[in-house]
């Protein structure tokens, strides 16, 4: 009986869309000095997907990720995150949504120099408001666990000035995951890592994808990640070309 009902119900519903960009353009600067970094980008990312954006230096990867991560706004077009039209939100509302649901790995790590590696990872949880003693203990344990999984158990009390590029990049990755965000946006997150560390990072990403349904948008020039991602999209001079899977998806067109 149950089986009959299942058959009648048809295929399982597709994962809900988490990110929907339609007709997005980005221009940095004004007038003759301005640079058109992105042209007419349509992109849809479902909950739990891992999408790699590949492209050479200057192709617009950071410009695109900053818009998806709500650190920057599009010059034109619509940006919908978790069904909210963020391109129309106030700066404060966007910052609140970002803190609630996005983890971001900056291309240049952006660690706070006066905080230890462990404190840097804790920071997104601390910024959400005052934690009681039990919540603080759990947060500290979670940050320590992430650092251990990324091979940084002995560097937890080190300040960023004592960390090399690989260690700094892994601290930035741990920080992006500490809130168990629905979406992680990571700008070339493995650019400074050796093969062993790439494996640790991609295993940790896969674990979050599986356990928390986290979606990932990664920019990369690193072939070592490609076997682990759901889709690879090519960005060339600010224009995005999809894989066949992307071509089958119809990006939502929204009038703004």
Ligand X SMILES: Nc1ncnc2c1ncn2[C@@H]1O[C@H](COP(=O)(O)OP(=O)(O)OP(=O)(O)O)[C@@H](O)[C@H]1O
Partner from ligand X, Mg ion, none contacting 29, C-beta within 5 to 8 A by type:
ligand X
- Which of 62/225 has CB closer to Mg ion? 62
Q: How far is the CB of 255 from Mg ion (least distance, A)?
A: 31
Residue 156: which residues within 8 A CB-CB, separation 6 or more? 116, 117, 118, 144, 147
**Which range of residues in 25-33, 62-70, 150-158, 200-208 is near Mg ion by CB under 5 A?**
62-70
Q: How far is the CB of 66 from ligand X (least distance, A)?
A: 8
What gap in Å lies between CA 201 and CA 149, rounded to an integer? Answer: 8
- Which of 61/208 has CB closer to ligand X? 61
The residue from 62, 66, 87, 168 that contacts Mg ion (CB under 5 A) is 62
| 59 binds Mg ion, rule: CB under 5 A | no
The residue from 20, 44, 62, 209 that contacts ligand X (CB under 6 A) is 62
- Which of 66/116 has CB closer to ligand X? 66
Bridge partners of residue 184, in order along the sequence: 103, 216
* CB 16 within 8 Å of CB 246: no
**Which range of residues in 51-59, 76-84, 156-164, 169-177 is near ligand X by CB under 6 A?**
51-59
Q: Under rule CB under 6 A, which residues in 11-50 are in contact with ligand X?
A: 28-29, 35, 37
Alpha helices, DSSP H only, in the chain? 2-9, 61-68, 91-101, 117-126, 133-149, 165-177, 195-212, 244-248
Q: How far is the CB of 70 from Mg ion (least distance, A)?
A: 17
What gap in Å lies between CA 126 and CA 130, rounded to an integer? Answer: 7
Partner from ligand X, Mg ion, none contacting 60, C-beta within 5 to 8 A by type:
ligand X
Rounded to the nearest 10 degrees, how much is the dihedral formed by the CA atoms of 212, 51, 124, 66? -150
- Which of 139/218 has CB closer to ligand X? 218
Burial letters for 156-193: b for 16+ Cβ neighbours within 10 Å, e otherwise? beebbeebeebbbbbbbbbbbbbbebbbbbbbbbbeeb
Partner from ligand X, Mg ion, none contacting 28, C-beta within 5 to 8 A by type:
ligand X
Q: By the criterion CB under 6 A, which residues form the site for ligand X?
A: 28-29, 35, 37, 55, 57-63, 107
């Amino acid at each position: 009986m149950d089986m009959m009902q299942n058959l009648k119900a048809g295929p399982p519903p597709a994962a809900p869309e988490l990110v929907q960009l339609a007709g997005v353009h980005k221009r940095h600067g004004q007038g003759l000095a301005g640079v058109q970094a992105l042209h007419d980008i349509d992109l849809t990312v479902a909950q739990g997907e891992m999408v790699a954006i590949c492209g050479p230096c200057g192709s617009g990867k950071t410009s695109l990720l900053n818009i998806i991560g709500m650190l920057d706004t599009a010059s034109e077009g619509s940006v919908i995150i978790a069904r909210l039209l963020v391109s129309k939100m106030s700066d404060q509302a966007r910052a609140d949504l970002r803190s609630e649901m996005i983890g971001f790995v900056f291309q240049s790590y952006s660690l706070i120099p006066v905080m230890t590696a462990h404190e840097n990872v804790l920071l997104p949880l601390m910024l959400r408001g005052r934690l009681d003693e039990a919540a603080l203990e759990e947060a500290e344990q979670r940050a320590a666990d992430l650092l251990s999984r990324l091979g940084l158990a002995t560097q937890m009390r080190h300040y960023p000035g004592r960390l090399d590029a690989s260690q700094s990049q892994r601290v930035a990755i741990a920080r992006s995951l500490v809130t168990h965000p629905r979406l992680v946006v990571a700008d070339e997150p493995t650019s400074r890592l050796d093969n062993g560390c790439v494996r640790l990072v991609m295993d940790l990403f896969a674990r979050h994808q599986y356990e928390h349904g986290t979606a990932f948008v990664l920019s990369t020039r690193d072939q070592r990640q490609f076997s682990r991602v759901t889709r690879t999209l090519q960005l060339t001079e600010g224009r995005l070309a999809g894989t066949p899977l992307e071509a089958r998806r119809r990006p939502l067109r929204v009038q703004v």
